[in-house]
Amino acid sequence: MPTGDSRRLQPEKPALIDPFGRTVRDLRISVTDRCNFRCTYCMPEEGMKWLPRQEVLSYEEIRRVAKVCVDRFGVDGIRLTGGEPTVRAHLPVLISRLAELKVPDDADSPRAGKPIDLALTTNGATLALIADDLRRAGLARINVSLDTLDQEKFRTMTRRDDLHRVLEGIDAAIAAGFDPVKVNAVVQRGVNDDEIVALAAFGREKRVEVRFIEFMPLDAQGHWLNEAVVGQDEIVSTIAAVYPLEQLPARGAAPADRWRYLDGKGTVGVIPTVTKPFCGDCDRVRLTADGQFRTCLFATDEFDVRGMLRSGATDDELEALLRRAVGTKWAGHRIGDVAFVRPRRSMSQIGG
Ligand code: SAM
Ligand code: SF4
């Protein structure tokens, strides 16, 4: 049997399957824990402790882990996130290295033999400047976060006066040819729930899918309250009262439930992590900026990939660590349950 980096998926080395029979297909990679915004639902204005540079994985290290996941497990989708991924220097260099990865011909994936599905989640603040570079580097899809269209509220929610930049960034992403461009909006009761229809209208006008995200207990400050969550049913009925909707077929492993506007003006999604957890279909694992492997946003355990990379481990050893980690993946998070334990790290430290 061939060994080393180039080894492809072998029948006796099946895809990465967790104890509940779910196949891992999607890898979220956080490239930095730093950010140029301070969204109130994510981090405090001051006091975040950033990772020391030497603890952050280099682009070479990230690519190596990604390549093991693609070549050996048939992972077919990678999303870069953070913190804010665009604040890391030379991001297009990493993108071009990852865009070279190809899903093995014999992988059990609709993308077998094709390049991986490479995506980015960003706050959009600098997209107008870099969208073309990211596209040229081989990035295919982009999600931009935008929680309000009101300048004053934007300033309160992000602690930055950058609404115009984000709007320009969305236009630049559309012009650069990303397909699709999606907009992520976290909805919080009493903060921006009065803008659900306005955000939906924005998506219809721009022909981008807005995906409303339920507020999750992952803010660094620990201020999350169940009462602040606006659930999927309420979000959908609020939109449907103005723009009639029809639900699209089941989401599969994708986190969003989706609807189409009956007048043909596109689609809208909701990520109902809290009120309708989609853990049963989860196909995702995560690599933090400091090289810790996690099987869930809400996992309380991490596996030290960085330590292994830096102590000269072989790809076989890395593979074994990742398989062991996935062997601990639990059935689902338990938000709302008395047994729920908040993870030690917050959303921006894990990679949302
Ligand atoms: N900085 C980038 C951005 O904001 O798009 C990428 C990282 S951010 C952590 C990824 C996504 O997580 C964003 O869409 C953000 O709105 C969302 N997010 C952050 N904190 C959240 C929370 N407590 N609940 C739900 N979504 C959250
Ligand atoms: Fe930064 Fe994204 Fe967190 Fe906002 S949600 S503070 S943009 S990491």
Q: What is the pLDDT of residues 202-243, one digit of tens each?
A: 999 999 999 999 999 888 888 898 899 999 999 999 999 999
> At 20, is the secondary structure helix, strand, or coil?
coil
Compare 335 and 343 and report the one with higher pLDDT: 343
Interatomic CA distance for residues 309 and 81, integer angstroms: 21
Among all bound ligands, the one having the nearest atom to the CA of 31 is: 1
SS3 content of the chain, % helix, strand, coil (to 5): 30, 20, 50
Dihedral pair phi/psi, residue 161, rounded to 5°: -100, 60
pLDDT tier at 296 (50, 70, 90 boundaries)?
confident
Q: Is the CB of 348 under 6 A from ligand 2?
A: yes
Mean pLDDT of 248-265: 88
Among all bound ligands, the one having the nearest atom to the CA of 158 is: 2
Among all bound ligands, the one having the nearest atom to the CA of 298 is: 1
Give percent of the chain with pLDDT exceeding 70: 93
Considering only CA atoms, which residue is closest to atom 22 of ligand 1?
Answer: 216
CB 175 within 8 A of CB 131: yes
Q: What is the pTM of this model?
A: 0.93
> At 271, is the secondary structure helix, strand, or coil?
strand
Domain count, the chain: 1
Q: Is the CB of 348 under 6 A from ligand 1?
A: yes
Q: What pLDDT digit, counting tens, does each position of 264-278 carry?
A: 999 999 999 899 887
Mean pLDDT of 328-346: 74
pLDDT(94) > 80: yes
Q: What's the pLDDT score for residue 3?
A: 43
Residue to mutate (ligand 1; options 145, 210, 221, 342; most atoms within 8 A of CB): 145
Considering only CA atoms, which residue is closest to atom 4 of ligand 2?
Answer: 39
Q: Is the CB of 40 under 6 A from ligand 1?
A: no
Considering only CA atoms, which residue is closest to atom 8 of ligand 2?
Answer: 83
> At 329, is the secondary structure helix, strand, or coil?
coil
The token pair at 9 is: 């998926």
Considering only CA atoms, which residue is closest to atom 10 of ligand 1?
Answer: 352
DSSP one-letter string for 161-180: --HHHHHHHHHHHHHHT-SS
Q: What's the pLDDT score for residue 1?
A: 39
Residue to mutate (ligand 1; options 347, 348, 350; most atoms within 8 A of CB): 347
Q: What's the pLDDT score for residue 255?
A: 80
Q: How many residues does the chain have?
A: 352
Residue to mutate (ligand 2; options 35, 158, 188; most atoms within 8 A of CB): 35
Among all bound ligands, the one having the nearest atom to the CA of 148 is: 1
| Domain of 209, in residue numbers | 4-350
pLDDT(251) > 80: no
Q: What's the pLDDT score for residue 12?
A: 46
Interatomic CA distance for residues 44 and 31, integer angstroms: 20
Compare 104 and 218 and report the one with higher pLDDT: 104
Among all bound ligands, the one having the nearest atom to the CA of 86 is: 1
Q: Is the CB of 35 under 6 A from ligand 2?
A: yes
Nearest-atom number in ligand 2 for the CA of 82 is: 8
Q: What's the pLDDT score for residue 336?
A: 67
Q: Is the CB of 213 under 6 A from ligand 1?
A: yes
pLDDT(306) > 60: yes
- Least confident span in 32-36, 164-168, 300-304, 334-338: 334-338
CATH code, domain with 183 = 3.20.20.70
Closest CA to 147 of 170, 126, 125, 163: 163
CB 82 within 8 A of CB 35: yes
Compare 5 and 269 and report the one with higher pLDDT: 269
Q: What's the pLDDT score for residue 277?
A: 80
Q: Is the CB of 83 under 6 A from ligand 2?
A: yes
Q: Is the CB of 215 under 6 A from ligand 2?
A: no
284-287 β-sheet, strand order: 245-247, 257-261, 267-271, 209-214, 181-187, 141-145, 117-122, 77-81, 26-30, 284-287, 292-294, 303-304
Q: Is the CB of 257 under 6 A from ligand 1?
A: no
Among all bound ligands, the one having the nearest atom to the CA of 169 is: 1
Interatomic CA distance for residues 337 and 64, integer angstroms: 38
Compare 296 and 32 and report the one with higher pLDDT: 32
With 0-12 / 13-18 / 19 or more C-beta atoms within 10 angstroms meaning exposed / middle / buried, residue 313 is: middle
Output the CA 296–ligand 1 centroid distance in Å: 15
H or E element, residue 46: none
Q: Is the CB of 103 under 6 A from ligand 1?
A: no
The mean pLDDT value of the chain amounts to: 91
Output the CA 42–ligand 1 centroid distance in Å: 7
The token pair at 209 is: 């899918």
pLDDT(283) > 60: yes
